[in-house]
Amino acid sequence: MLREVLAQIAEKESHSANPSPSVVTIGTFDGVHRGHQHLLGEVARHARASGARAIALSFNPRPTEVLRPDMPSFYLCSIEERVERLRAAGADAVAVIPFTRDVARTSALEFVSLLVETLRMRELVGGPDLALGRGREGTPDVLRAFGARLGFTVTIVPGLEIDGEAVHTSDIQRLLLAGDIERAAIRLGRPYQVEGQIVHGEGRGRTIGIPTANVAVGEKIILPRDGIYAVHFLYNGQRWPGAASLGYRPTFDGTTRLLEVHILDFHGDLYGKTCRVEFVRWLRPELRFTGIDALIEQIAQDIREVRYVLGIRESPCSLA
């Protein structure tokens, strides 16, 4: 399996009988956050300096999902978005390696030998936690010894720190689950987004004059803390401000977790369309209201606050 995947990218990227050598980095790269972008920037810089291709190899699913199936595993973006963002960060080519128990059993020597054979790897670049092969046996020192035999070098790029802390996918997930959208965005290098299809709901929003788009997000994509959010709704190359509700709708005794977006100043039919929701700020937790009038009044207040947060027309005094 591993050989086939690497051979496919080698064939795809080869434009001659003697293709360019490569500078390679390997990881899961979930979310392609600023730490990953920093690493990819170094990979691209080293590749340009030596006339090589910059290649990113991304494991999917992440290794722990296969090796520890009892542990829940969620992602910051889809594999399609991951590939797109890895290319934008500097990779000339991206290969997705299906991580299986067979791949997990591959020795570090066999792994790097395949990279040299199929991709003409001349340099392997990784972060401080680089480890390849069975049982993570391929530490930087071990890999350097292999490189001396096989003709490649190993470069370790220091991890990117923000506010004195290294940037990790797991930390970004924790910030999202805490509703700390702004700090998560700083580490991602962009506001957190989720993608999904607009599906039919129960229509309650429309009956009270506040229609919502029900966004069905992939079950493996992490959703932030339940509550009310200021968001941007992205569809067909355009963006609209929105007020989003994420959770179980306690006023209606909901049992299913839903992401619903009231799109401000938008009119149109979106059912079946794919969109993205960009989270800007967590505003408040979900609340249970004693009646529909109280709910409508609070939603109106939320919309005023969303307009203020997103910088559209409302003033602070309207939030009182």
Residue in 42, 65, 123, 260 annotated catalytic: 260
Task: Supply the Cα-derived Rg of the chain in whole angstroms.
Answer: 23
Report the amino acid identity of residue 122. Answer: R
Confirm whether 286 is a catalytic residue.
Answer: no
For residue 49, the tally of other CB atoms under 10 A from its CB is 10
Tell me how far apart the alpha carbons of residues 171 and 106 are, in angstroms, rounded to a whole number: 29
Tell me how far apart the alpha carbons of residues 101 and 288 are, in angstroms, rounded to a whole number: 47
Enumerate the β-bridge partners of residue 59: 97
Ranges assigned E (strand) in 127-225: 153-156, 161-162, 165-166, 193-199, 213-217
- How far is CA 245 from each of CA 35, 181, 196, 258, 261, rounded to the nearest angstrom? 30, 15, 15, 8, 6
Tell me how far apart the alpha carbons of residues 309 and 220 are, in angstroms, rounded to a whole number: 29
Q: Is the C-alpha dihedral spanning 20, 24, 30, 35 positive or negative? A: negative
> Residues 44, 68: contact at Cβ < 8 Å?
no
Single out the residue of 288, 277, 285 nearest to residue 302, CA to CA. Answer: 285
Q: Which residues are catalytic?
A: 260
